[in-house]
Structure 1
Amino acid sequence: MLLAHAATLSMRKRAFRRAALWYLFAATKLEKSGIKPLTTYFLQRTRELYQSPPEKNLSPSFWDAEGITPTEQAGFDAILPGIEHALGRLHYTTGDTKGAVQFFLGLLRGSTNLVHSALSVGVANGYAVDTPKSMISDKVFLEDFRVAFQHFLDTSADSADLSEMKLPVTFCVAKQTRVRLPGESVGGNATVWDKREETWRSYWKSQGKEGLQSTGKAPVNEMFRVDVSLHNPLDVDINLSDVTIVVREAQSETDSVSADFVEVEALDDIVLSANETRTIPIAVKATRSAKLQVSRASYKFLSILPASESLATRGRRLQDTALQRQSKMYAPDTFIAVDVEDASQRLSVNFVEDQRLVLAQGECKRMRLWASNVGTDSIDDVWLVSGDEDEIFLDGFNDAVASASTEILHSNNSLNPHVDPWEDRVDSAETLKFVSRKLQGLIRGEDTEISDPPPIELICSHTPEQASPRSVISSDITRFIHQRRRNFTANTLTANHPDVLRQLHSSVFPLYNPFSVDILIFWSLPTEQREGHLLVPGLTLGARHGELNKMLDEAAEAKVKRSMYAETQREKSAVLEAIRVSEWNAEMNPIVVALRDMMIVEHDFSDKPCHVSIDFTLRNLSLTHPCKYKLVLPSQTLTNNSPGEFSQPTYAGRLTYRGSLKPLESVTLQPTIHVTRPDTYALGSWRVETEVFDPSTPSHEPGAKLPEPQYRYVQVCVDASYYALPLVALTIAAAALIARKFLVSIQAPIAKTMPAIPFSEQDEALVRQRLEAKEVKVSKLMIYPIKPGRRRVSYSSASIDDLSVHSFTNIDGYVAQPHISTAADPTLCSTVLSRFLGRSVHLAYKGPRLRPAPPTWSEPALKAHVDYHDAYPLLVASVESLAGVRDFVKQWWNEQGITAVDNWDPDSLVIERFRPNIVFEGAGLPFAEDMWKEVTTSDPNSKETGRFSLVSKCTRCMVCTPAFVDQIVAYSFKQLPNIDPATGARNMAIPSKPLKQFRTGLDPGTMDASCFGCNAVPAAPGTLHVGDFVAVNSWGVV
């Protein structure tokens, strides 16, 4: 009673929360004493005081800005549920079951908000609050409600009024509830369907027809579904039974039951897990036309308490009048509406074969559609709308056979989709004029007129393997050719002309270039009943001569209109450059030189020198322009070839040839070479000068001034070496070639022995100290680019899988051949190498497939991949390690009493001889990298880092020339690198013993091999810079 008196005194002082606390303490004491009436009274007083919010003397503008009401209470929400739960238990024990049920039911507000509010106070101060689970757990409240309500039902009369018992939470999410009509798209991207519908509207409007009527109506006597979204706000599993919805007419005012002509499905039982969100479909069927509304959802909570929720969503915020803008006013609530009408015109379409399709590239698959008119009226027209890049043909397939070796196709030459691709022909010259006119207006900044390019005539020539080629005039093939060509052209234009609006492409660029060739390849697998065709588009036919150069030069030299926006000028320059390098302005030398290569001439040099005539074939690949040529051969006697180069012949007789060639004309010239000894000669050092003339220039009369050439070109054939294959080669032999042998290396298996420790604990402490002081840095990063002067090669599309790199097999690659611009024999590379090496070989280009790096002693489960590397992708070393090698070599030098070895001394031993990628400096001791397992580099000027793992030491294996060549053997000399990185020359006199005496026994794989540097693999993507700080994340013997 004293505690209750203290509460009364606190109330007089208007300390209501303190008074509620005293009443709660008094009720707790009395409950333990068994005085329940007074306990109930004090708990009720506590609840009343806690529900009275404190006065908040704030400006009314505050509540409007925060979007809350002044009466809204925010605080420690776990207090009130604890009070109400105690009251509910007291009412239940005293026989007031209905009051207990109402208290327990009011506690089911959802524990998510309770937990958040309870913890937010502590989290704001940086401390988490551990709230007792029993205080806020919905499981306790739900179980008490179930027991009390079941007891209430058992003890009350059958006509017990349950209208006052309302759930304080809702389970239906009205904003996420949707109507799903039959025939609507299921799955896929909604934007794709919207784009299909917009495509149809645009096309149908251009035909002058009526608009497209939406099909968003439900048919009579056919099921449609309402997808109701349910969310369980409680942290305990609950079940809902008899779940259904109320569907009424739009004019009806009652929403308690559905209309009598509407059949609504009721779901027996649904179990929702804690905080689960699920969408359930409820089927609905109307027996007559009407405008329906989905007003409410009803269910039985825990299968015992009937409940109903409105599915209306709040109307939009009103902003029309000043009063509406100053206060929160909303339009009436909106309901989900469904229009039901008679199914007069309804089409049901399905695939007959609905299995998953797996198609090869270019494969054509015959599909069958099953269409049924499920409406009451007839359907006149059916249209199918596909995407711009879809290749679909509906009129069936035609296996017609070509009636002639050449067929004529007529294309409208337009990039626009969904149009008939074949129309009447117009000369190809009109296409070039169209492109020139459109691009000229585009460069000048004029508005582009929306118009289609002129049609064009296409000539198709068959090269079949069978006697009866497939006709390309059939409707399905012509449609597929048009669509694939359109996809290729559209994608090419988007990539090459990003500054030209895509909507203008069809009004500027035609579908076909008159100077292009497309290859259509038919294929079939009769045993699998599969067939298809591939289109290889966009190949250039003949040489082009920059038809737009004059216009582009005038635009570049024209006075530029000044603009205050630099971006506008940059965009114009980008458009100009894109047109200059496009296929419509291609420019190239029309003269192609072809020589008869790899001739083998046998001659008796004891009688006289050898004279051989060489065929030089010059062809003018231009379709329109004549040209003049001048072939100039070297006049002076060529010097002897250097090591690694082919011999150069001496040309005799006529050394300069002149002439002219009409379009597509060729000529063969036969200069003579003079050789005095057998060898393989490279037919190089010649030069071809070309002058291209305008075909519109009239031929000149005798004595008249010659016209100026439109273009001039010069082709120069330089000398070739063994390592860069020549264009052509001539072999003159007096006897059979001597066969040569190769050396191979054999990789030793991984040993199980422990490698030696490279340095002591004191040395490791010194290195750690330098690392912490950031004294260890990246001093050099080295890559090894291709040297200039090498000739380019190509490779075929057919790959091979049985190559080998050192001891690694099953390597993929491609057989190399001369570059396509040389027009040489594709087997030239393999033939020259095979003849020079005396055995059948190929020059191969490594393919894209990666292979796993071999495991190491320290990393037996290494998961790394390499491309063309020997074994590992990276090699690291340090400047101190190189200094250590130099010092030991000098000491060994002095002990052996050696003064000079062929002009070589230890100071010329540079780091490049060991071919590392990453060089460190600053560790203070040699070979510190031998104890680093994971290294991280960081740029002091940015946040870029690099991280890689050291997996093994690098054994130095140098291959020397063997003393015999009758068998293939492997050599592994532990010696200093004897290849000069600047000249490539090898000095065989460099000693092989220094490294072997102090850098062996360190790698478990080859304990007798000398080591320098460590192999590494990247541990994560990153960037390395010279000057990056080095940090060691993990130490250990590698």
Structure 2
Amino acid sequence: MIGICTLLQSSSNQRSKLNVDLQSYLFDHLSIASSVGHLRMVMIYYEMSKAIGNPQLMSSSLIRASKTQNDLIAGIIYEQVSHSVSSRQATLYAILAAHRYELSKQDWLSAICFKQCTQLRGWRWMEDYLDKRIGKIAESESDWMLASQRYWNILKGRIEKGDYGLDDELHLSLLKGAIQKGKIESSTLTSSLDHSCIQLVDVERCKIRIPEQQNYFDSLLVERVEVWDQLKDRYVGKGLGRSPDGNIAVVDEYIFLDMVFKNPLSAEICVKGVKIYLKSLTEEEQDLCEGKVEVEGAEDLNLSPLECRKVSLKLLSKVPDIKFEIVRVSYNFDSIFDCSQDMRKKGKRLQKTLVERRGMFYSRDKSMEVAVTGARPMVELSLVEDLVSEVYAGESVMGEIEVKNIGKVRLERLSCAFSHDSFFWICDDQGPEKGRSIYETDDEGQEGEIVLELPNHLVNEPPKLIVDKLEPGSSMRFVLGCRGESVGRHETCWLFSFQSATTGECFTYRHVQRLVVLPSLDIIPIITSNQSRDAFYSFSIEIENKGFNEDLELLMVGTFGSHWKSKLRSDKKSDWVLVNREGESRVRRIEFDIFPWSDSEEDRMTALMLKQLKKFLIKEELKDSDVCCSKVKVCACTTGLAGGRTIKLNSTRLLETIASSHRNLRKKEISSTFKTLRDSDISLIFPLSSTRSLDLVLLWRTTDSQRIGHHYLSDLKFGSTVDVVGGILESFEGKAGGMYEESQREQKALLGQWKRSEYGRMEDPIRVELEVENDFFDWNFKRDGPFILKVKFIIKNLSTTNEASYDLDLLETRGENNLDSKKEGRKSQRRSDIIKDEDEEEEDEEGCDWIGKLSFRGTLKRLETIELESKALWVGTGIRDLGSWKIRTGYTDQGKLKELRFDKNDDYDRFGKVYYRWKTVGERKFISVNEIN
């Protein structure tokens, strides 16, 4: 100490010199300060550095000196460091010193260091260690309240951060032990310790469940809000006697509060005394539990580590016409704390679009408010589990559903609607005598043509009326059809609507049914022209068995068309079986001839469609009543197995299935073309089928499992198109579609979609086919003179709606035709690109000479065929081309040839409009005549 005093009294130069030596010792990392002598020297230097005024330089050197194996020396060094650093670091080094003291069996020094530590925040494991050691010290000193507080700090930190530990069970047992040894009451702990972090109830997942909503936890009942609203608006009516939004309870009927309890610790806990508190929203008094609303308490819960459990509390209202809110829930946490939580939810901010803003701060499943009404009917659905959950594409099965009135009031006019009405439907003809199949067999085996009158609109059918009246407690069963369409997984929404017999109020019940559709058959349609006189087209389908692991038998095939009918070419039994054996083809090809139906009616639906289109373009409201009454007469052609029983295509169940499938497929087709139109607009503008449409139904049955079903191909197009919307679109061309730029763009896009559709395209209505006896002839010119060949021109009008005129000219040869095309090309380059002869590059063969009548003109009615006869002359042997003819065609309007607009570069008539006629040059057909003696 004399040396230290001398140093303090020395000059500043000597101090600086000593300071340099001190720093060289303290920061020399090669030296090992581990002996007691070094420790004494370090302590002396430490005191000297404090006197010089630079104590912060000592912390790193002292820590380096603490590497000694002597725990007592290390504890002393750490304790000295804690006096020269910040408060946060001081706590850390005090903990390290206490730990080394504890290792050196100096518990009294360890306790002193722990008591000097302030609360440490930010390092979880160090916090837990400090709280645990202080808790142990408090237990040794019988300070049970302090021990409880320290043990609780460990658990509270883990609950707040959501970071559980594997030793939660140990700390929870230490906490319970301290409370039990200190005989601390739960009320004292609740008031003394901060337990606000305990939130065992997940409030945002709590729901009020009405008994009629059995699968209320199904996410689709919450997510598919738009689907439910569309079904309500479509079938129930907008605001038609509906109950108010929110949770509606019925007097003397139980409702349930579904709460979710979550254990935040990896230790088993017990939750006792769960109780909810209600607040009246209609009366001044706050307590409704006495005589008005009964709440059934929950049993004690033993939650496993990190367990999440749903608990339901029953609520029963004894008084109608009141409204209350669940505001708070209380419970006891593992016999330690009495806790409570606020049940009021935060709610959701307004959504992105105005459509999603429902005018409610909470959706129905989020609100904790309950309105109690008087007695009302309620629906319960059963036997749903018996329905098939997997079907093959095209397979049709039947099921039975039971609906029961579990309310205390009679319900009236119970009906049901489906979001996928082609997947599920309610059969009109109920009763056990109808069987459990949608197919009715015809024992007489009658085949041929059947005339049917079917609806021709896309408006969804009204919901099926299941029962007109249903008394309380009574039930009714009805037959439900199920069909597989659109391979994949589907979730269908069922909406039941009914009325109360006492108040007339309309109620709804929701159900979600899942269905998996598996692949079965792959059908590819092929349409080609037909060269015969009567048939207009050849139609075939290629069928491949892709889904079944067994043989499949085709039972029957049929077509529906308002202007077309079909005839099967082959009825071999081998063509009707799709085998599933290796080495044999799984593909079958069935061919048809397509003929015009002579009894077809005029196209009245197109006129109605144009009327609806005009209303839509001028923003006039479209109504269901304008189109839902339209019907069309169709020809159904059926063909079954020879000698077997056929299926009735005109049966009610099968026709309903076909109609729903047709609506679904037709809407998808139109939506792909008219992308700016909504589904509701499509239903009110377009017909279900057009005059060019032909639908095909193919019924099949598996040979082993006896599964039965049918595939449906809709809107197979035959015939030529005619522009029926050109005049309407011209009147709206260039006109604004509204006040805003977006609506104007939509209007322009819509007009373009109409022009590119089948209603805006113009196709050649006339098809010409040549018919001769043979292509090769042997002729004796010396004996018989010139050879004369009879040539038949078969001219068909492919239009299903309009008359067509033709002008057949045999005067010009092929070379002249080419010359005319080149002249026309020089007048208008764009026009010549369209109506040029495809074979003008080769003119080696000589054209034939025509005799007799060389020019034919006339008019054909829709789908009419005419046969013209001419003659070709050979005066010597050779090969002649019968393609030396041309024809001009066009649609006829009121007895005049209606020529069609083509291009602005063409010639103008006196009215300033541009027209042209289609020009068809005959295809090459070579006839060879040889000389014989």
Selected match of 1:176 from 205, 222, 227: 205
Is 1:667 matched with 2:867?
A: yes
Is 1:492 matched with 2:525?
A: no
Cα pair 1:78 1:114 within 8 Å, conserved? no
Selected match of 1:138 from 165, 185, 188: 165
Is 1:43 matched with 2:114?
A: yes
**Alpha-carbon deviation of 1:615?**
3.5
Task: State the alpha-carbon separation in 2 of the partners of residues 374 and 448 from structure 1.
Answer: 41
Selected match of 1:583 from 758, 765, 770: 758
**Alpha-carbon deviation of 1:109?**
3.1
Which range moves more in the overlay, 285-294 or 238-247?
Answer: 285-294
Is 1:101 matched with 2:148?
A: yes
Task: State the alpha-carbon separation in 1 of the partners of residues 780 and 332 from structure 2.
Answer: 110
Selected match of 1:153 from 169, 177, 180: 180
Cα pair 1:297 1:311 within 8 Å, conserved? no
Task: State the alpha-carbon separation in 2 of the partners of residues 317 and 635 from structure 1.
Answer: 81
Q: 1:357/1:695 Cα in 2 relative to 1: closer, same or farther (>3 Å)? A: farther
Selected match of 2:793 from 616, 641, 655: 616
Is 1:85 matched with 2:132?
A: yes
Q: In structure 2, what residue type is equivalent to 1:194? A: V
**Alpha-carbon deviation of 1:619?**
1.5
Cα pair 1:347 1:373 within 8 Å, conserved? yes
**Alpha-carbon deviation of 1:105?**
1.8
**Alpha-carbon deviation of 1:348?**
1.3
Match of 2:379 in 1: 347
Is 1:280 matched with 2:314?
A: no
Q: 1:259/1:96 Cα in 2 relative to 1: closer, same or farther (>3 Å)? A: farther
Task: State the alpha-carbon separation in 2 of the partners of residues 182 and 30 from structure 1.
Answer: 66
Task: State the alpha-carbon separation in 2 of the partners of residues 314 and 208 from structure 1.
Answer: 28
Cα pair 1:295 1:335 within 8 Å, conserved? no
Match of 1:228 in 2: 259
Task: State the alpha-carbon separation in 2 of the partners of residues 671 and 548 from structure 1.
Answer: 42
**Alpha-carbon deviation of 1:617?**
1.3
**Alpha-carbon deviation of 1:713?**
1.3
**Alpha-carbon deviation of 1:591?**
1.0
Match of 1:266 in 2: 299
Q: Deviations over 1:281-304 (max 9, x none)?
A: 223335663767373364654xx7
Q: Secondary structure at the match of 1:384?
A: strand
Task: State the alpha-carbon separation in 2 of the partners of residues 544 and 181 from structure 1.
Answer: 56
TM-score between the two structures when normalised by the length of structure 2: 0.56
Match of 2:388 in 1: 356
**Alpha-carbon deviation of 1:523?**
1.8
Q: Deviations over 1:592-639 (max 9, x none)?
A: 122448956564899999765443311123343141231448737999
Cα pair 2:159 2:198 within 8 Å, conserved? no
Cα pair 1:243 1:267 within 8 Å, conserved? yes
Match of 1:296 in 2: 329
Match of 2:889 in 1: 690
Q: 1:629/1:7 Cα in 2 relative to 1: closer, same or farther (>3 Å)? A: same
Task: State the alpha-carbon separation in 1 of the partners of residues 222 and 328 from structure 2.
Answer: 29
Cα pair 2:260 2:311 within 8 Å, conserved? no
Is 1:387 matched with 2:433?
A: no
Cα pair 1:694 1:709 within 8 Å, conserved? no
Which ranges in structure 1 are unaligned for 5 or more consecutive residues?
Answer: 52-73, 116-135, 319-330, 422-426, 700-706, 720-727, 736-1038
Q: In structure 2, what residue type is equivalent to 1:695? A: Q
Following superposition of structure 1 onto structure 2, how do residues 434-445 of structure 1 map, counting pairs within 5 Å?
Answer: 434-440=608-614
Task: State the alpha-carbon separation in 1 of the partners of residues 298 and 98 from structure 2.
Answer: 51
Is 1:461 matched with 2:660?
A: no
Cα pair 1:110 1:138 within 8 Å, conserved? no
Cα pair 1:81 1:107 within 8 Å, conserved? yes
Match of 1:509 in 2: 686
Match of 1:574 in 2: 749
Q: In structure 1, what residue type is equivalent to 2:155? A: L
Q: 1:430/1:356 Cα in 2 relative to 1: closer, same or farther (>3 Å)? A: closer
Q: 1:351/1:646 Cα in 2 relative to 1: closer, same or farther (>3 Å)? A: farther
Is 1:312 matched with 2:343?
A: yes
Cα pair 1:4 1:23 within 8 Å, conserved? no
Q: Deviations over 1:367-406 (max 9, x none)?
A: 2111222233322221212226545234237749799944
Cα pair 2:736 2:744 within 8 Å, conserved? no
Which ranges in structure 2 are unaligned for 5 or more consecutive residues?
Answer: 1-42, 48-74, 350-361, 435-439, 466-600, 819-838, 899-910
Cα pair 1:462 1:469 within 8 Å, conserved? no
Cα pair 1:688 1:716 within 8 Å, conserved? yes
**Identity percentage of aligned residues:** 15
Cα pair 1:246 1:258 within 8 Å, conserved? no
Task: State the alpha-carbon separation in 1 of the partners of residues 124 and 402 from structure 2.
Answer: 62
Q: 1:282/1:96 Cα in 2 relative to 1: closer, same or farther (>3 Å)? A: same
Q: Deviations over 1:927-972 (max 9, x none)?
A: xxxxxxxxxxxxxxxxxxxxxxxxxxxxxxxxxxxxxxxxxxxxxx
Q: Secondary structure at the match of 1:105?
A: helix
**Alpha-carbon deviation of 1:408?**
4.5
Cα pair 1:441 1:448 within 8 Å, conserved? yes
Task: State the alpha-carbon separation in 1 of the partners of residues 743 and 278 from structure 2.
Answer: 59
Cα pair 1:521 1:533 within 8 Å, conserved? yes
Q: Secondary structure at the match of 1:139?
A: coil
Q: 1:35/1:508 Cα in 2 relative to 1: closer, same or farther (>3 Å)? A: same
RMSD: 5.7
Task: State the alpha-carbon separation in 1 of the partners of residues 186 and 722 from structure 2.
Answer: 99
Cα pair 1:353 1:367 within 8 Å, conserved? no
Cα pair 1:227 1:280 within 8 Å, conserved? no
Is 1:368 matched with 2:400?
A: yes
Q: In structure 2, what residue type is equivalent to 1:693? A: T
**Alpha-carbon deviation of 1:666?**
1.4
**Alpha-carbon deviation of 1:407?**
3.2
Q: In structure 1, what residue type is equivalent to 2:636? A: H
**Alpha-carbon deviation of 1:578?**
1.8
Is 1:415 matched with 2:459?
A: yes
Q: In structure 2, what residue type is equivalent to 1:198? A: D
Cα pair 2:259 2:311 within 8 Å, conserved? yes
Cα pair 1:88 1:99 within 8 Å, conserved? yes
Cα pair 1:179 1:224 within 8 Å, conserved? yes
**Alpha-carbon deviation of 1:112?**
8.7
Q: Deviations over 1:455-488 (max 9, x none)?
A: 4341122322259976666554554444334333
**Alpha-carbon deviation of 1:217?**
4.6
Match of 1:519 in 2: 695
Cα pair 2:263 2:304 within 8 Å, conserved? no
Q: 1:403/1:208 Cα in 2 relative to 1: closer, same or farther (>3 Å)? A: farther
Cα pair 2:345 2:367 within 8 Å, conserved? no
Cα pair 1:223 1:283 within 8 Å, conserved? no
Q: 1:40/1:581 Cα in 2 relative to 1: closer, same or farther (>3 Å)? A: same
Structure with larger RCO (C-alpha < 8 A, sep 6+):
2
Task: State the alpha-carbon separation in 1 of the partners of residues 150 and 245 from structure 2.
Answer: 51
Cα pair 1:6 1:19 within 8 Å, conserved? no
Following superposition of structure 1 onto structure 2, how do residues 592-671 of structure 1 map, counting pairs within 5 Å?
Answer: 592-596=767-771, 599=774, 601=776, 603=778, 612-622=789-799, 623-632=801-810, 635=813, 650-654=847-851, 656-663=854-861, 664-671=864-871
Q: Which has the higher strand share?
A: 2
**Alpha-carbon deviation of 1:696?**
5.0
Q: 1:548/1:206 Cα in 2 relative to 1: closer, same or farther (>3 Å)? A: same
Cα pair 2:792 2:867 within 8 Å, conserved? no
Q: 1:359/1:633 Cα in 2 relative to 1: closer, same or farther (>3 Å)? A: farther
Q: 1:447/1:339 Cα in 2 relative to 1: closer, same or farther (>3 Å)? A: closer
Cα pair 1:248 1:257 within 8 Å, conserved? no
TM-score between the two structures when normalised by the length of structure 1: 0.51
